[in-house]
A and B are shown apart, each in its own frame.
Chain A
Amino acid sequence: MNAIAAEWMKARTLRSTWWALGVAVFVSLGLTLAGAGTVVARWAGVAQSPDQTAMGIVVAVYVGVILAQLPLGMLGTMTITGEHASGMLDVTRTATPSVTRILLAKAAVLTGASLAVSLLIAVPGYVYGRFLAADHHPSLLPAQVWPVIAGGTLMIVVTTLLGLSLGALLRNGAAATAALVAIVLVLPLVARMLPWGEVANRLLPAIPALQLIKQMPPVMPDAAAFAVLGAWGVVPLAIAAVVMRRS
């Protein structure tokens, strides 16, 4: 717990943290509100059930939430590459000799930050969406919306943690950010043009996430999508811990 408290203190005493969080919340919230407006406007004169309406709002909101993943992923890389660049990681390690504990503490703080960001976007987005769609009498949170909420939230947490892992492995902010963008955004597009791309894409984080927030037809069971996505949060972190321990 001491290590987590220390990492939280470190994070909140750097202006770059607040810039990343601010950009993540305000840009994504703006786009979420605009997106919700567009989606709800399409429903004019369409008859749909209260559950369908609630689902439509939640999906629109979580498409907005995952837009925050790049600033958050960069925050993830910065929390470790900033220490590599300055050399301050040595000071951190004299206070907390276990690099695994340091990485887990950073991961805990980043998980908290990305959960907070997702709620700061989703809650106002949802309330606004319900306000716009009041004529359709949306139900509150029917069972079908929870996989969307869980999937969108997991995606944003995973991208943030992946930023941390890549930063720990590559030790350079620019390289880690480039790798993050490649894995999350570029490779899924490239893979679509390659012979084994369909298979590869099921193993990259983007497709499972898009499936879970209902932005593409399902290509695997939801449980598999959650597992692939979750693995992108956990496995690179474990590799980073092993590599850092050896050095």
Chain B
Amino acid sequence: MIEVTGLTKRFGGAPAVDDLSFTVTPGRITGFLGANGAGKTTTMRLILGLERPASGTATVNGLPYRRLERPLTQVGALLDATAIQGGRRADQHLRWLARANGLSARRVGGLLDLVGLGEAGRKRVGGFSLGMKQRLGMAAALLGDPEVLLLDEPINGLDPEGIRWTRDLLRSLAAEGRTVLVSSHLMNEMAVTADHLIVIGRGRLLADAAIADLVRPGGSLEDAFLDVITRSEA
């Protein structure tokens, strides 16, 4: 469960996140939609305690992220998959991360297989494609078997097979009762992946509804999204 209440963050001038409130509930995939610069990444960083809000709160399982014990066992996050030092091997990256939260390194080999890196897990990350880094980032997010997953554009750079694999994985994670918040600007992908949508624009909440309620019969999510955006600007 992720709860965001009155969250506001400014970088100098206009607020990047503006009095934002929403709840992400377990057992379904919640899509986090917004145009470029709408504040999706900033919101996720605020939830993860990587930024300090000007006001408002964000909690995960009832606690601010910074107060979680061994946070990787409760929250798995994938922000920028390319934000990783290239000199280490993929398995070494997962091992230090596991060690940081006192997790056993036993899951590392299995996770590398699960995300389809397999043998590449013994190679340096510097030589990885964006898609491979996304897969490694997904493995890192799953490392602590967390209840809550926060994924920022996880399918960027993935091939069609990787996109389908990610979609199936997210569905199975939600089906296990986990909380899954996944941001994307790819409407078609969200339409087939998410159960519920949170739409933001200029840092404000524009919509928080089930996909079925947002999309008119015969219409596309893209139309519905642009509709919501236009209404908000009118």
Contacts and interface: CB of A to CB of B under 8 A. Distances in A.
A92 B92 CA distance: 14
Given A14-B88, A83-B85, A91 B97 contact: yes
16 contacts: A3-B100, A5-B99, A6-B97, A9-B96, A10-B96, A87-B82, A87-B83, A87-B84, A88-B84, A90-B79, A91-B97, A93-B50, A96-B100, A97-B65, A97-B66, A98-B66
Contacts of B97: 6, 91, 95
B88 A95 contact: no
B49 A91 contact: no
Interface in A1-59: 2-3, 5-7, 9-10, 13-16
A16 B87 contact: yes
A3 B71 CA distance: 13
A145 B12 CA distance: 56
B49 A93 contact: yes
Q: Determine which residue in A13, A86, A88, A91 has the highest number of CB atoms from chain B within 10 A of its CB, and name it.
A: A91
A243 to B, nearest CB: 13
Nearest to A95: B100
B83 A2 contact: no
A91 B99 contact: no
B82 to A, nearest CB: 7
A2 to B, nearest CB: 5
B101 A14 contact: no
B152 to A, nearest CB: 11
* A-B residue pairs, 6 tightest by C-beta: A87-B83, A6-B100, A95-B100, A9-B96, A13-B92, A97-B66
A5 B97 CA distance: 10
A82 interface: yes
A90 B67 CA distance: 16
Interface string B100-118: 1110000000000000000
Nearest to A102: B100
Interface string A82-122: 11001110111111111000000000000000000000000
A152 to B, nearest CB: 31
B189 interface: no
A2 B98 CA distance: 9
A94 B77 CA distance: 8
